[in-house]
Amino acid sequence: MVLLLSPLHQRHEALGAKFSEFGGWSMPLEYAGGGVLAEHKAVREAVGLFDVSHLGKALVRGTGAVDFVNKCLTNDLSRIAPGKAQYTLCCSEDGGTVDDLIAYLRSEFEVFLIPNAANTAEVVRRLRAAAPEGIEVENQHRDFAVLAIQGPLSDELLDALGLPSDHDYMSFTKGTIDDVELTVCRTGYTGERGYELVVAAEEVVPVWDAVMAAGESLGIRACGLGARDTLRTEMGYPLHGHELSAEVSPVMARAGWAVGWSKPTFWGKEALERQREEKSVRTLRGLLAQGRGIPRPGMAVHAADGGVLGEVTSGTFSPTLRQGIGLALLDRTVADGDTVTVDVRGRQQEFTVTKPPFVEPSTKED
């Protein structure tokens, strides 16, 4: 398979990036001069810059666009006003998760969507198939680049760039860098205060250069998707294909807060309501290592008597806590504080069941 390249690929090569495949794209996993641990530390203590241009982009527009999207995706767009963003999910009729995404409410006529890279075409296909006359669904996946500025010094960096930094969490506004127009979104996937810049793909190189230059005195680091994964795991944020999938519903992933239960309709509503009422499916929990074990996806989770309680969906070494952490789908009989074991390379390692996040988030701090 020929992988797609970010418009910033040459910048990544110049920084000594190690590349990996993400959703059909060749994207930086980590950079020379420190790797994942140094990049993770920069985001937790200073500021990091991620290229996440592989993420999808789609536009739904036309008279009634908001009402149409609201009848399809799980969350309730009536809860937010134009200029706000909302985490939501696209589900199949059996309750499985086609994708999780962010919806940006531009106006009553336009909703901009950022799905995951691998699922963009399917989300667009489903929306197009359901769209009534007068509603247009446009796949803009390669038209825009996305840069994520994340860390406690994000505001100082945006101020140095002349970008707005005083808007609320999950809101967005316009800005310019060297006459390049962009959208400044107060969003992110790290648990730190941060922003994501959506800019035309053909204009992103000078924006990247300006951000890196302005952040030099703040200790900025270019960060790869390896650090993005350790950061999101410390927060307990789901990753599609792991904590969410065609087999893992929002109810199972404990993402019911992103479901508009009182809405008359959305894709998968009946199946999700049934799961919610029956309380029979496994649900997502956190695992904190009691020793040196590091859980990995697919590893079985056992009770003291050896019975299987579930399976690890994500696991890593937490650079912040300096110990193994994981997310797992577990039977509902398991309670927070329980000790379970995971077969890590042939050895039963003990973990404490807990409710994420593992690290205190600062996304909403003023």
C-alpha span between 215 and 218 (Å, rounded):
5
C-alpha span between 51 and 84 (Å, rounded):
22
Which residues sit opposite 113 in a β-bridge?
Answer: 58, 103
C-alpha span between 186 and 196 (Å, rounded):
6
Determine if residue 196 is labeled as part of a ligand binding site. Answer: yes
Binding site as annotated, residues: 196
Binding site as annotated, residues for substrate: 196
